[in-house]
Amino acid sequence: MNIIVCLKQVPSTTEVKIDPKTNTLIRQGIKSIVNPLDSYALEESVRLKERYGSRVTAISMGPPQATEMLRDAISSGADDAILLSDIAFAGSDTLATSTTLAKAIVKIKNYDLVICGRQTLDGDTGQVGPEIAEMLGIPFIAYVNKIEEIANGKLRVQRMVEDGYETIETSLPAVITVVKEINVPRMPSLRGLTKAKSAQIPTWTTQEINAEKETVGQAGSATWVVKVFYPQRVQLAEMLKGDPETQAKALVEKLREAKLI
Amino acid sequence: MEYFLTEQQKTLKSLARRIAEEKVLPVRAELDEKEEFPWEIIKTLADSDLFRIFVPEQYDGMGSSSLDLCLVVEELSKVCSGVAVSYAATALGAYAILLYGNEEQKQKYLPAIAAGKRLAAFGLTEPTAGSDVSNIKTTAEKTPEGYVLNGTKQFITNGGEAEIYTIIAVTDKSKGARGASAFIVEKGTPGFTFGKKEKKMGIRSSSTRELIFRNCLIPAENILSKEGMGFVVSMRVLDHSRPGISAQALGIAQGALEAAVDYTRQRVQFDQPLISLPVVQYKLAEMAMQVEAARALVYSVAKTIDSGAKNFTEESAMAKVFASDVAMRVTTDAVQICGGAGYMRDYPLEKMMRDAKITQIYEGSNEVLHSAIAMELRKRKGRRE
């Protein structure tokens, strides 16, 4: 069985700053990490490898620096990795990102399961997983919290829904996105780190994945960022003054005025 | 300081540090309080291949370098030396098989140890035999079925948790120290049980127990080397393992130094951080110098062993005595300059001070090791004349 896991490098903070001129993230001086939810996808791939003897390929679309993240993926158990990097991929929205990833997956050809994290820390859309499935024309299951079994070309999983769990069976190949409840990602191993150091990680460009230039990057994006802004901080609280008794009376008065009591 | 570590050693060191910071730090106070064996951390260390670094490649290991082991033990000990010794005691138990096991014994036991699936332990100390190793009372009687063990071992690190034990027992009472032999005994062998679990001052997450043998029959092929080699096996094993204890002491001292620097930078008294006070600066500088000197000695001894030296009893003893004395002094000073906070359990320093004490005691008390060093000096002088 061949598993493809999709990873993304994101800034290691939730308090990102935005360049007011270009409306894009300021990435300088901020350490990059693997998108936390993607690390659960990687761990699940490696667990499936240990369970079923599969082969795990990690792929990522990103700048050349993302190679380091892919090396980390190898040190944590991925067999090999491919970086999708091209100046033409810059400015991709979820549609263009999914197009690029789907094209790369088609080129890899032999795959049974594609695993992604539920969503990213930076974009936060959760759209790339389902879009890949749509483009590949294969089944998709979101929010998987447990892989029960893979047998006879079928996959049975448990997934989290708002008021409980669903057990779903699908044919393979398929795409799934996982939630953090699915596992606890492992530490890298010494053997993995040694292997990662010398691993050859090829870079595929637009040409290598046989994509049309107008379908990737900004050109292939259906959406573009018009404006990015911080929500305005507004102080609406009113502090009641006086001793506790006066404060309590004033509070009751306010609640009456608001017809809450 | 530049110690010219190889790329692989740097990788190993940073992996061990990451595990210590991410997996050990959050639970160290709880493990200490509950005196709980750190199984989950041991599993992480195993999955990260850290039990492979003291086992040769042909037995599923990744080499067997003393310095590699020291680097890992040091990093773990900076955070929790109870965890570190639980890990290192397996190396101690495995050394007897590594150094004196025959091919079958190595094939049988080392791969499981390298994978971290089975922990090991070394059983030498008895109620009547501590520094006086020649006074061991546990016997191994040869019968047609194998050896029958009787006796009690005391204060055995990893006791109860380990599955593979190297045990020293007397096969010939008339020969004194030359009448002892070394055996491999597996947990679960009928007649082999565990006695009380000790309550200790420090390294409380590690397990220290009695091993009890009552007519415990083991196969004759479980003997290491041959009859009468028990004393030699013990001494050689301890020569090999002492750098690990030195690295443990070094890690404790480094951890205490770092904690003391952190605290004295933040704590303000007399309108300035403590670290601005000359008296505190003097103490911190003294601590830093001692720690670095200990590291230079420990690494040098480990490198001496890795270079293939034949006899390193003296060097190994020096590293252990020096580093453990440094650990005790540095942790005591660290508690002192951090004052009330240093003494409280909410801060890590009191634990480090409690943990440091054992490093002056086990794997050869510092007093016995002073004698060993002096004996080597005397022997060498004698040879020259």
pLDDT tens figures, B222-279: 999 999 999 999 999 999 999 999 999 999 999 999 999 999 999 999 999 999 999 9
C-alpha to C-alpha distances, A107 to A64, A90, B56, B280, nearest whole angstrom: 20, 21, 41, 64
Chain A nearest C-alpha distance from B115 (Å): 12
pLDDT exceeds cutoff 80 at B365: yes
Residue A121 — very low, low, confident or very high, per pLDDT cuts 50/70/90?
confident
Fold of the A2-215 domain: Rossmann fold (3.40.50)
* pLDDT confidence of residue A15: 64
* pLDDT confidence of residue A26: 72
Is B157 within 8 Å of B85 (Cβ atoms)?
A: yes
ipTM of model = 0.85
Please name the amino acid found at residue B149. L
Q: Given the DSSP bridges, would you call strands B146-157 and B120-123 parallel, antiparallel or unpaired?
A: unpaired
pLDDT exceeds cutoff 80 at A131: yes
Residue B167 — very low, low, confident or very high, per pLDDT cuts 50/70/90?
very high
The pLDDT mean for chain A works out to 91
Chain B nearest C-alpha distance from A101 (Å): 31
Please name the amino acid found at residue A85. S
Mean pLDDT, residues A12-32: 72
**What is the value of pTM for the model shown?**
0.87
Q: C-alpha angle with apex A162: A159 to A164, nearest 5 degrees? A: 60
pLDDT exceeds cutoff 90 at B131: no
For an interface test with B, the pick among A46, A47, A68, A187 (most B C-beta atoms closer than 10 Å) comes out as A187
Contact B49 A189 (CB under 8 A): yes
Q: A186 CB near a chain B CB, below 8 Å?
A: yes
Helix, strand, coil % (nearest 5) of chain B?
60, 15, 25
The pLDDT mean for chain B works out to 96
Contact B49 A190 (CB under 8 A): yes
Q: Report the 10 Å Cβ neighbour count for B382.
A: 8
Catalytic residue among B350, B363, B376, B385: B363
The structure tokens 């990690």 sit at A58
pLDDT tens figures, A156-208: 999 999 999 999 999 999 999 999 999 999 999 999 999 999 999 999 999 99
B141 is catalytic: no
